[in-house]
Amino acid sequence: MFALKHVNYQNILRYPDMTIPAGVTTCICGESGSGKSTLLKLLNGVISPTEGEITYSNQTLEAYDPILLRREVLLVSQSVYLFDKSIKDNFNEYYAYRNIDALCEAGMNRYLDICSVSLPLTSMCHVLSGGERQRVFIAINLSYQPKVLMLDEPTSALDDKNATALIEHVKAYCNENQITLIIVSHDKAIAEKYADNIIELAGGVKE
Amino acid sequence: MNDIISLNIGQFALIYLLLLVVLSVMKKCRINQTKLLVVASVRMTVQLVLAGLILTYIFDNPHPVFTVLYILIMTGFACYMAIRRNKTINRNFKWIVAASLSASGIAIVCFFIMAVVGVSIFNPQYTIPISGMIMGNAMTGVSLGIKTFHENIHSQRARIDALVNMGVTPPRILTPFANQAIETALLPTLNSMLGMGIISLPGMMTGQILSGTLPMTAILYQIAIIIAISAVTCLSVFCALFFGYRTLYNKRNQIII
């Protein structure tokens, strides 16, 4: 699905050539500073490589409309942002930004369930815990039904039990819907348990 | 009405005594700004004396070139000050701020002088003081608007990133920030309108009354200038942000802040 060739970002990060297969779960591991988050940003075109080429579905990223590409290859970054409103209003606000019709309440609850959020839709987001906010944020992103879902440290604010449940459910949903899942995690246990394919970014790639 | 009493230098010097009041309060409250107080007072005195001398010369020898030159220098300074207070914005953004401020300011001044007052734009007695008020207020408004915009996009970086990652277009993401900044820039002028005539007799009106103008004429000028100020603030901040936010993303719709 993705292929990287001689990719270099601002001469700080040099990536080994790699391919990321479609329809499976790929985990990207490595120490902090090895360029995991940057790799995800490169893949959805939020930033561009200084050198080298990235192809998506056999076409270079430059050939895609950047906005449509980001909608198709969705990145859920580590920094969660929710509006100071209820969960339902957050769904609506983000949908309005994307210019798509609002989701019905049953639909919202379905995605919240997948992400193990068992809170009423009227809960105000600014009083939720860090872990709850992270899961609500992932649920909203998941509901966009992208072709590729990239999660950056999705379990950083979660305890082991919640982390396992979240990854398990999200992976199952992605498998059912032929969504390619890419997870960045410094937690090797998660990678070994859920990944069909592991990419290890060594600190040595850095210059 | 009587003509204004000219201040003689001896009487005038008395007002500087009030600075001693400021100074003693500062000492008492350990406000470490004595140097600023002295520098500011001296600068103000020197700059205004110079302005007085130049205006006297221009009024005695009215020539369109002088009026135009005065306005250009004033506009240049307004742009310089507005940009100096917002050093961190990118180069193109700075040019856009300067262009918006100059164009809106000069357009409103021309409208005020030629259409409302109905005199020639080269008449220094009207054009110079009116453009001073309009440019000064436009500068304050633009500085405030750009500062608010810039601070908000930095403090809400997580929101911008989330929306960018979701495939929302940069204009859609940045417009709410621009709208918010225009509102912030406009509010002080609108709020001051509320109290006008009750808790404040604005400077221009006070000046005109002191120099013998009929109060009813003075208020007409005052109302006109306040409306012109709110228009110039709104227009210059709107143009600066509407064209300026486009410098914050590239052709690949990547945000470059």
Query: What is the per-residue pLDDT across A184-205, written as a single tens digit (0 to 9) for each?
Result: 988 888 888 888 888 888 764 4
Cβ distance B254 to A48 less than 8 Å, yes or no, reads yes
What's residue A3's pLDDT? 87
Find residue A30's DSSP bridge partners.
A201
Cβ distance A68 to B166 less than 8 Å, yes or no, reads no
Q: How confident is the model at residue B3 (pLDDT cuts 50, 70, 90)?
A: low
Cα first-last separation, chain B: 58
Residue A187 to residue A27: CA distance in whole angstroms: 10
Cβ distance B162 to A45 less than 8 Å, yes or no, reads no
Query: What is the per-residue pLDDT across A11-28, written as a single tens digit (0 to 9) for each?
Result: 888 888 899 999 899 999
Cβ distance B254 to A45 less than 8 Å, yes or no, reads yes
- In whole angstroms, what separates CA A112 from the centre of its chain? 16
The three-state secondary structure class of B251 is coil
Residues in chain A closer than 8 A to B158 (CB atoms): 79-81
B204, burial (CB in 10 Å: exposed 0-12, middle 13-18, buried 19+): middle
Residues in chain B closer than 8 A to A79 (CB atoms): 157-158, 161-162
The three-state secondary structure class of B186 is helix
Buried/exposed code over B64-74 (b: 16+ C-beta within 10 A; e: otherwise): eebbeebbeeb
Query: What is the per-residue pLDDT across B118-147, written as a single tens digit (0 to 9) for each?
Result: 999 999 989 999 999 999 999 999 999 999
Comparing alpha-carbon positions, the chain B residue that sits nearest to A44 is B165
The three-state secondary structure class of B94 is helix
Buried/exposed code over B151-188 (b: 16+ C-beta within 10 A; e: otherwise): ebbeeeeebbbbbbbbbbbbeebbeebbeebbebbbee
Comparing alpha-carbon positions, the chain A residue that sits nearest to B254 is A46
What's residue B62's pLDDT? 87
Residue B92: closest CA among B253, B252, B250, B254: B250
**Of A47, A48, A98, which has the smallest distance from its Cβ to B166's Cβ?**
A98
Helix axes B124-155, B157-165, angle to 10 degrees: 70
Query: What is the per-residue pLDDT across B144-196, written as a single tens digit (0 to 9) for each?
Result: 999 999 999 999 999 999 999 999 999 999 999 999 999 999 999 888 888 88
Query: What is the per-residue pLDDT across B80-129, written as a single tens digit (0 to 9) for each?
Result: 999 998 988 999 999 999 999 999 999 999 999 999 999 999 999 899 99
Residues in chain B closer than 8 A to A72 (CB atoms): 167
Q: Which two tokens stand for residue B196?
A: 């006008």
What single string gives the DSSP state of each residue in B118-175?
Answer: -S-TT-HHHHHHHHHHHHHHHHHHHHHHHHHHHHHHHHTHHHHHHHHHTT--HHHHHH
Residue A126: closest CA among A158, A81, A94: A81
The three-state secondary structure class of B243 is helix
Residue B123 to residue B145: CA distance in whole angstroms: 32
ipTM of the complex: 0.91
Query: What is the per-residue pLDDT across A116-125, written as a single tens digit (0 to 9) for each?
Result: 999 999 999 9
Q: Cα angle vertex B159, ends A8, A96, to 5°?
A: 115
What's residue A207's pLDDT? 41
The dihedral sign for the CA sequence B109, B111, B117, B121: positive
DSSP strand pairing (A2-9 vs A13-14): antiparallel
Interface check for B164 against chain A (CB to CB < 8 A): the answer is: yes
